[in-house]
Amino acid sequence: MGAEETIDRKVEKPDLSQKTIVVLVVLTILISILGTLSVMYEYGSIKVTTQTEPKTSQASVKLNIISPEELQPKTSTGQVILEIKK
């Protein structure tokens, strides 16, 4: 009799419900999706730059043209006057 009571108790022990399993499976899917997205995002954020930006530099060419007259040496006169008396 004692042994039969023990077997009955084991049979009556409640198992995990199907709902619990469903929740676990859904969690598994979500975790898998999130993990995949995370990995893809991380790799997407890695940028390998093999081409540098183009660079520019400038130089100037200048000259100034004036009339020939302006280049002529300019003259000016002054006077020094003195008178010597004996």
Partner 1 sequence: MDISNKTLALFLVAAIIVSIAGTFISLQKIGKFEQASITGYATNYTGNVTLEISKNASLIFTISSINWGTGSVAGGSYCELWTNGSGFNSAGCIGFSTIPSTSSLVIENDGQVHLNVTMNSSVNETGFFGSYIAAHKLQWQVLENETNSCFGGTVSPSAFTNVSVASMASAAIVCDYLNFTDSKDSLLVNVFVNFTDLTSQGQKNATFIALGTQIGT
Q: How many residues bind partner 1 (CB under 8 A)?
A: 38
End-to-end CA gap in the chain: 172
Angle subtended at Cα 38 by Cα 33 and Cα 42, rounded to the nearest 5 degrees: 150
Q: How far apart are CA 30 and CA 21, in angstroms?
A: 14
The footprint of partner 1 on residues 43-72 (CB under 8 A) is: 43, 46, 48, 50-68, 70-71
**Is 20 a binder of partner 1 (CB under 8 A)?**
no
Residues binding partner 1 (CB under 8 A): 18-19, 21-22, 25-26, 28-29, 32-33, 35-36, 39-40, 43, 46, 48, 50-68, 70-71
